[in-house]
Structure 1
Amino acid sequence: MSIDPRHTYKPSWRKPVGMFAILGLIALWAVLVGSLSGLIGGLPMVVQVVIYVFLGLVWIWVLPLKRLLAWMETGRWRSF
């Protein structure tokens, strides 16, 4: 007799909380970068592209998305 996995799985509250946290971080980062648009907008187009690409990469490296995702999956802030 096999056990139906739908009855043994208990959804974690961390995933919905983590999703809302990610949305909040995205909104906060967008407001921060958008507030710099007045300064960045006066620069040459090529420099603007470099700055916005850099700021987009900072979003990945600096903000704690990797740890937040690990917490959502495991309940620990470190995945190892």
Structure 2
Amino acid sequence: MVPRLRSFIGTILIIILVITYALLATTFATLLLATSPWWVHFLYFLLSGMLWVLPAMLIIKWMAGPKPGK
């Protein structure tokens, strides 16, 4: 696959991932954590704020293409 096309598709996938993940994480927090103490909210948003990075790293790794020796 052409590297420019791979980068374009990866960029679109990351944008979709971030928007979808933000909506789901916020909806989950609003529905289930409404009466929780402040530290539960803090821990939830701390963890959920870092969790989206894992699938984004996979997309970025795919965007980089195969390693030069293969």
Per the normalisation by structure 2, the TM-score is: 0.75
Please tell me whether residue 70 in structure 1 is matched to residue 49 in structure 2: no
Match in the other structure for 2:46: 53
Distance 1:45 1:20, change over 3 A: same
Hey, which of these two has a bigger chunk of helix by percent? Answer: 2
Give the percent of matched residue pairs that are identical in Structure 1 and Structure 2.
23
Deviation per CA, 1:18-55: give whole Å up to 9, x if none: 11100000011011111112322321111110111111
Distance 1:69 1:45, change over 3 A: same
Q: Which has the higher contact order (CA 8 A, sep 6+)?
A: 2
TM-fit CA distance, 1:60? 2.1
Question: For this pair of structures, how many residues does the alignment match?
Answer: 64
The list of structure 1 runs, each at least 4 consecutive aligned residues, that deviate by more than 3 angstroms after superposition, is: none
Residue 51 of structure 1 aligns to which amino acid in structure 2?
Answer: Y
